[in-house]
Amino acid sequence: MKGDRRRAVFTRRALLLAAGQVGALGLLGAKLYQVQVVEGARYATLAETNRVSTRLVAAPRGRLLDRFGVAVAGNRSNWRALLIAEQADNVGATLENFSRIVPPAEFERLRIEREVHRHRRFIPVVVREFLTWEDMARIEVNAPDLPGILVDVGTTRLYPFGSTLAHLLGYVAPPNEDDVADDPMLSLPGLRIGRAGLEKYHDLTLRGRAGTVQYEVNAVGRMIRELDRQEGKQGQDIGLTIDSELQKAVLARLGEESASAVVMDCRNGEVLAMATNPSFDPSVFNSGVSQAQWVEWTSNRRAPLINKAAAGLYAPGSTFKMVVGLAGLESHAITQTQLLNCPGYLDIGDTRFHCWRTGGHGSLDLRGGLKNSCDVYFYQVALRTGMDHIAAMANRFGLGVSLDIELPGARSGLVPTRGWRIAQGKAWNLGDTIVHGIGQGFLQLTPLSLAVMASRLATGRAVQPHLTRTVGGVLQKGVLPETWPQLGLAERDLRAVREGMYQVVNEPGGTASIAKLTIPGVQLAGKTGSSQVRRVTREQRERGFKSENLPWEYRPHALFVAFAPYDAPRYALSVVVEHGNAGAAAAAPVARDIMADVLTRDPAARRDPPQRVADRMAPLGRGDTQ
């Protein structure tokens, strides 16, 4: 009986134990089912995420191409070191160890610390760009001491023409805090945005769409290998109207002068060259400008950072006289053949206004006034016409109005009116009208607007300047010459002014006979100008004042505008030599040589690049999209 009871107790215990085991196994099975079947996909994803790190990468920036397809702004491979803060045990220690291996500049150290605190911890921060093979080898050897650091390849902006096209192309630079606040995608490592010039104007088109890259990582987040890379969509290429080889030639002709020049196809408004001297290297902004470099640029009295062709403001001097003459003709203040006398001065009240020729020019008509650049003739025309009529005519020729050129920072200049002066609380007097008749006074114009004026004089049409030909290979402004609207001027009046410009260069006694072309059968029509930057007093004149004896910054600016060929205009240009003193001596020879080069190259009529340029157009490998 006692044994039976013991067996019964053992059996119950075994059953309870078995039941417990079955229950435990059941719970375990249910949990396994929950994990492997019901939530299997979720845990597989989590496991894969723990093993694989995926992040966005900036797409290569679109290229800027000249009119013949030559890359003037492209990309090249850029090996760089990135820091992912969430994968570093101690960010400060990691950066300190990295600094001992590849020492950064002080401004770079501050930038890294700022970005680490600004960005989320999973967003990579660039700690060093443009790594050499030696740099990368040292980083890999010291990898155990650099948790969170990985070496990656991206692209950086390349400007193969250096300073030659800097003012046109502008430059790119890392986004600042305000940029990232507006668009978090701008925090991607290596991404650059346009800060000036065409890079800024076409920035969104050039940026492209981000790609992704997957890395296999170990338990502490160290990258083991790259698993997959999906390249982003590169930004669209922008085709420009510029002839890069002509641009180089124009800058070479400007030499060491502080000067600018603009060359246009006067029939359709394409800007073929826009040169400013001195210039700067735009690639410096890509990696960051040092304080010493910035001080050097900003303290240079020749202002290398300013695009003088589109933003430099100058009194036009005698290059404005064609506008004054046309305003006088249209308002019937003068006729083409009417003679006005120049004794060498004009007295208004107790003020004497001088002509540049002390003894005067005698009696002149419009053509003679332009040929001899007679100041007294145009003093009288301005008085008869009035400033408001002159200003209205100037606006029709693109002076003092927005030209909508694709250059952020381009300026419209100023052509004053009586109302403008009165709005300033000042009275407009006869003396103001007189000095504006020879392009002085309050007039402030850009070399670009003067080239537009020359184009409109040559064609009689309201030609608009532009720099963009194609976007993504699609023609943007294929404007035929005849589609530009007429200026609404009498052809006989335009012809008279053109003939005066012809005589300036091609007839004996013209003020710019030095600008005559030596190309057989081709003539250039042009006009000189000299604009004072400070007033010459009567006492100075009486002492035989000579402006060339002044310090450089006080000498007059030298200007020249022109178009050619005279009988079938195709090209127009303007040249401004800062403090060059006399347009005939300083600017006219430069314009002559530039125009001769343009006519020889004939870029507007040529579809294919010259052979010396074609060799530079071969495509490069992935990442190198120069």
Segment 337-381, tens digit of pLDDT: 999 999 999 999 889 999 999 899 999 999 999 999 999 999 999
Give me the pLDDT at residue 219, please. Answer: 56
581 secondary structure, DSSP code: S
The Cβ of residue 29 has, within 10 Å, a number of other Cβ atoms equal to: 10
Which stretch of DSSP H or E encloses residue 390?
Answer: helix 387-396
For 287-325, how does the pLDDT look when each residue is reduced to its tens digit (9 = 90+)? Answer: 667 778 888 888 888 889 999 999 999 999 999 999 999
Cα distance between residue 574 and residue 309, in whole Å: 9
Q: Domain 244-279+307-601 adopts which CATH fold? A: Beta-lactamase (3.40.710)
- Tokens 């993504």, residue located: 472
> What is the C-alpha to C-alpha distance for residues 98 and 88, in angstroms, rounded to an integer?
12
Query: Running DSSP on this structure, what letter comes out for residue 233?
Result: B
Q: What is the mean pLDDT of the chain?
A: 85
pLDDT tens-place string over residues 183-218: 766 766 667 888 999 999 999 999 878 766 666 766
The third-level CATH classification (topology) of the domain covering 53-240 is Penicillin-binding protein 2a (Domain 2) (3.90.1310)
* pLDDT grade for 104, boundaries at 50, 70 and 90: confident
Which residues lie across from 276 on neighbouring strands?
A: 260
pLDDT in tens, 121-134: 777 788 887 788 88
Do the Cβ atoms of 399 and 487 come closer than 8 Å? no
Radius of gyration of the chain (CA): 35
What are the structural domain ranges in the chain?
53-240, 244-279+307-601
Say what the pLDDT of residue 373 is.
Answer: 95
- Considering only residues 536 and 141, tell me which one the structure prediction assigns the higher pLDDT: 141
The contacts of residue 389 (CB under 8 Å, 6+ apart) are 327, 330, 331, 333
- The per-residue pLDDT for range 570-609, each reduced to its tens digit, is 999 999 999 988 878 899 999 999 999 999 999 988 776 5
Dist CA 125 CA 83 (whole Å): 5
| Amino acid 616: pLDDT | 45
Average pLDDT value for residue range 515-543: 81
